[in-house]
Amino acid sequence: MLYFVSTPVGNLKDITLRALEVLKSVDLIACEDTRTSLKLLNHYEIKKPLVSYHKFNEKVAGEKLIGELKSGKNIALITDAGTPVISDPGNVLCKMLIESGVEYTVIPGATAFVPALILSGLDASRFCFIGFLPEKKKDVEQILSKYKNFDATLIFYCAPHDVIKTVENLRLHLGDRQAVAVKEITKLHERAIRFNLSDGYPEENPKGEFVILVERATEEENPNLSLTVKEHIKLYTDKGMSNMDAVKLVAKERKMPKSEVYKYSIE
């Protein structure tokens, strides 16, 4: 059996009893960074063979782990902090295990975006976890354009050296909205910093690991909704769109039945 084991995101006490039992019982532990994981393992006096498993060797290391599993060993996989697979290595291994017919399970626990969502005070009834944004501007634009009109709180992970750039990208592609940067979760200097995207991130030299949350899209952010339904349809037909395509798009944007919008197009 392979266990995906969640580890603390900061405070070493944020680990479950079951996680400790599993880490003490397995034959070996696969780590994202053995030096980082040793701090946790030494704290709980867990002495096990460690192997390296990270995003740069997922395929090769995964094949070795599957070989060990098929030989009868039990293995735990942990990352530097939080839950494996969630913006961390492990997804490739999941697929490899399924394809190989090898069983695995999850030992749940800490993951950074859940406490960040609560600390932010933003709407938690619906949220969308996006994780780290890509490096290239074109890829950033492509991703954010998909989520611009989501009626849900948007959640991003961000390294300290990327905070200012990330906030600017969010402003550029999502418009001015309330945002919250939560850093050093569960640690001594845990903070939730609230600001508007148009003002930029308020600290000059961001330090710590960040979760950035942005309030959901509202209808007011689409200027077309200030038009009458007739004007809204005409806006698109004047741009060369067919009457039926314009009706479909207007119905989607205004969250109205197509049949109702179609009546306006006839008028």
Q: What is the pLDDT of residues 224-242, one digit of tens each?
A: 766 788 888 998 898 888 9
The full length of the chain comes to: 267
* pLDDT one-digit tens code per residue, 52-74: 999 999 999 999 999 999 999 99
Collapse the DSSP code of 105 into the 3-class scheme (helix H, G, I; strand E, B; otherwise coil) and give the result. Answer: strand
User: How far is Cα 113 from Cα 124, in angstroms, rounded to an integer?
Assistant: 11
Task: Read off the pLDDT of each residue in 131-149 and give the average, rounded to a whole number.
Answer: 91
Which pLDDT band holds residue 254 (cuts at 50, 70, 90)? confident
Which pLDDT band holds residue 128 (cuts at 50, 70, 90)? very high
Better-predicted residue by pLDDT, 123 or 253 = 123
- Say yes or no to pLDDT of 144 above 70: yes
Q: Enumerate domains of the chain plus CATH numbers.
A: 2-107 (3.40.1010.10), 113-218 (3.30.950.10), 222-266 (no CATH)
Q: State both tokens at 250.
A: 């207007």
Task: Read off the pLDDT of each residue in 256-265 and give the average, rounded to a whole number.
Answer: 85
The predicted pLDDT at position 258 comes to 87
Task: Read off the pLDDT of each residue in 111-140 and give the average, rounded to a whole number.
Answer: 96
Q: Strand pairing of 28-31 and 50-52?
A: parallel
Better-predicted residue by pLDDT, 149 or 23 = 23
Nearest partner of 207 among 160, 169, 249, 157, judged by Cα: 160
What is the value of pTM for the model shown?
Answer: 0.79
> How open is the CA angle 157-94-49, to the nearest 5 degrees?
90
- Say yes or no to pLDDT of 208 above 90: no
Collapse the DSSP code of 81 into the 3-class scheme (helix H, G, I; strand E, B; otherwise coil) and give the result. Answer: coil
